[in-house]
C-alpha cells in the first residue's frame, strides 16, 4: 500500500522536472553559440568602441577620455575625405555583389539541375579551387593579367577594341572585378544549397499548367531560392565593402577605400583611435543597410539553408 500510495506522488514530482529539462535544453544548447558570439563578436566590438574614445599619440600612448569628437572629426577634415572613401566602398560592394549574382546564379543553377549527381561534387570543387591559393597571391596575379602590357589589354588592342592609352588596372572596374572574382564562391554555394532543396517536380507542374520555362523559373525557382541569394548577398557585400586588398593591388589613387583607410590609420600612421572609430562607423552603417535589406527582402525561409 505504501509503494502504491507513493507512486503517484513520485510521478507528479518527476513530471515537472522532465518538463523543466525539455524547456531548458534549447537554452543550454544555445550557450555554445552565445559564448562564441560574445567572445569573437561582441567583445571585439566593445573593444573597438573603447579604443575609438581614447586620446593620445603613438609616442606618449593612448588613454581613455570619452573622446567622441573623433567621430565628428572623421567627416569634417577636408584633407582626408573619409565619407568619400566610405561611399566608394559601398558602391564597390553593391556592384561586386550584383556581378556575383549575375555570374553565380547560372553556375549554381547548372550544377543543381543540369548535371548528374556524380558530377556535382567535382564541379563544386572547381568553384572553390581558387581558395587553394592565397587571397593576396591570386589578386596580385590579376594585377599582372590586367596590366597595360598584360594579355587582356594586349589582346583588346590587337583586335582593335581598345586604343593605345586604354588601361584596366588602376580603375574602379578592376577593383570591382577583383572583389567579384574573389567572392564568387560565397555566392554560388548558398544559392546552390537553396536550389538543391527545390523539388524538380514543381517546375514540371508549372509547365503542365501552361507556364513557359521563363515564367516557371520566375514564379517558382527564383522565389524558392531567395534564401540562398539573401545569404550570398550578406557574405559577398560585407566582405567587399571592408576589403583593402583588391583596391590596393588592382586600384589606384582614385579607388582608395575605407578598408585601406582603416589599414593605413592602424598600421601606417598608428592612429589606433581613428582606425577603431572608422571600423565602428563601418560596422554601424553595414548593420543598418543589412537590417533594411532583411526587412525588405524577407528572411522567413532562411532556415531552409540549415
**pLDDT for the residue numbered 300:** 53
Which one is predicted more confidently, 248 or 302?
A: 248
DSSP assignment of the chain equals: -HHHHHHHHHHHHHHHHHHHHHHHHHHHHHHHHHHHHIIIIIHHHHHHHHHHTEEEETTTEEEE---THHHHHHTT-TTS-HHHHHHHHHHHHHHHHHHHHHHHHHHHHHHHHSS-HHHHHHHHHHHTGGGGS-HHHHHHHHHHHTSTTSHHHHHHHHTTSS-TT---TTSHHHHHHHHHHHHHHHHHHHHHHHHHTS-HHHHHHHHHTT--HHHHIIIIIHHHTHHHHHHHHHHHHHHHHH--HHHHHH--GGG--HHHHHHIIIIIS--HHHHHHHHHHHHHHHHHHHHHHHHHH--TTGGGG-
Three-state helix/strand/coil letters over 36-95: HHHHHHHHHHHHHHHHHCEEEECCCEEEECCCCHHHHHHCCCCCCCHHHHHHHHHHHHHH
The grid coordinates of residue 36 equal 562564441
**pLDDT bracket for residue 306 (50, 70, 90):** very low
Q: Could you give the CA distance from residue 105 to residue 102 in angstroms, rounded to a whole number?
A: 6
Q: Could you give the CA distance from residue 172 to residue 251 in angstroms, rounded to a whole number?
A: 7
- CATH number of this structure's domain 79-305: 1.10.3720.10
Q: Rounded to whole angstroms, what are the CA distances from 279 to 12, 229, 230?
A: 56, 26, 24
**pLDDT for the residue numbered 1:** 45
Q: Could you give the CA distance from residue 114 to residue 110 in angstroms, rounded to a whole number?
A: 5
Q: What is the pLDDT of residues 141-152, one digit of tens each?
A: 999 999 888 888
Q: What is the pLDDT of residues 178-234, one digit of tens each?
A: 999 999 999 999 999 998 888 777 777 777 676 777 787 787 888 888 889 999 999
**CATH 1.10.3720.10 in the chain, residues?**
79-305
On the question of pLDDT at 20 being above 70, the answer is no
The grid coordinates of residue 291 equal 537590417
Lowest model confidence (mean pLDDT) among 176-185, 228-237, 287-296: 287-296
Q: What is the pLDDT of residues 46-55, one digit of tens each?
A: 888 999 999 8
Q: How far is CA 253 from the centre of its chain?
A: 25
- Mean pLDDT (whole number) for 122-132: 86
Amino acid at each position: 500500500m505504501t509503494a502504491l500510495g507513493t507512486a503517484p506522488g513520485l510521478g507528479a514530482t518527476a513530471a515537472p522536472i522532465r518538463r523543466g529539462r525539455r524547456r531548458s535544453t534549447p537554452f543550454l544548447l544555445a550557450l555554445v553559440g552565445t559564448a562564441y558570439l560574445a567572445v569573437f563578436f561582441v567583445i571585439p566590438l566593445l573593444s573597438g568602441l573603447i579604443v575609438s574614445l581614447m586620446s593620445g599619440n603613438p609616442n606618449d600612448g593612448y588613454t581613455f577620455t570619452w573622446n567622441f569628437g573623433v567621430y565628428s572629426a572623421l567627416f569634417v577634415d577636408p584633407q582626408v575625405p573619409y565619407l568619400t572613401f566610405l561611399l566608394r566602398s559601398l558602391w564597390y560592394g553593391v556592384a561586386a555583389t550584383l556581378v556575383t549574382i549575375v555570374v553565380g546564379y547560372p553556375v549554381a543553377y547548372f550544377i543543381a539541375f543540369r548535371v548528374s549527381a556524380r558530377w556535382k561534387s567535382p564541379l563544386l570543387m572547381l568553384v572553390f579551387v581558387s581558395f587553394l591559393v592565397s587571397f593576396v597571391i591570386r589578386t596580385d596575379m590579376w594585377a599582372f593579367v590586367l596590366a597595360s602590357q598584360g594579355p587582356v589589354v594586349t589582346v583588346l588592342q590587337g583586335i582593335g577594341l581598345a586604343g593605345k592609352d586604354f588601361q584596366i588596372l588602376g580603375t574602379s572596374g578592376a577593383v570591382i572585378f577583383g572583389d567579384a572574382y574573389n567572392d564568387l564562391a560565397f555566392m554560388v554555394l548558398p544559392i546552390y544549397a537553396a536550389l538543391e532543396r527545390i523539388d524538380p517536380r514543381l517546375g514540371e507542374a508549372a509547365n503542365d499548367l501552361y507556364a513557359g520555362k521563363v515564367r516557371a523559373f520566375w514564379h517558382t525557382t527564383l522565389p524558392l531560392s531567395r534564401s540562398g541569394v539573401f545569404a550570398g548577398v550578406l557574405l559577398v557585400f560585407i566582405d567587399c565593402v571592408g576589403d583593402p586588398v583588391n583596391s590596393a593591388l588592382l586600384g589606384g589613387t582614385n579607388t582608395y577605400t575605407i578598408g585601406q583607410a582603416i589599414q593605413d590609420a592602424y598600421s601606417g600612421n598608428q592612429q589606433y583611435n581613428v582606425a577603431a572609430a572608422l571600423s565602428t562607423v563601418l560596422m554601424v552603417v553595414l548593420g543598418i543597410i543589412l537590417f533594411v535589406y532583411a526587412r525588405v527582402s524577407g528572411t522567413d525561409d532562411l532556415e531552409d539553408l540549415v
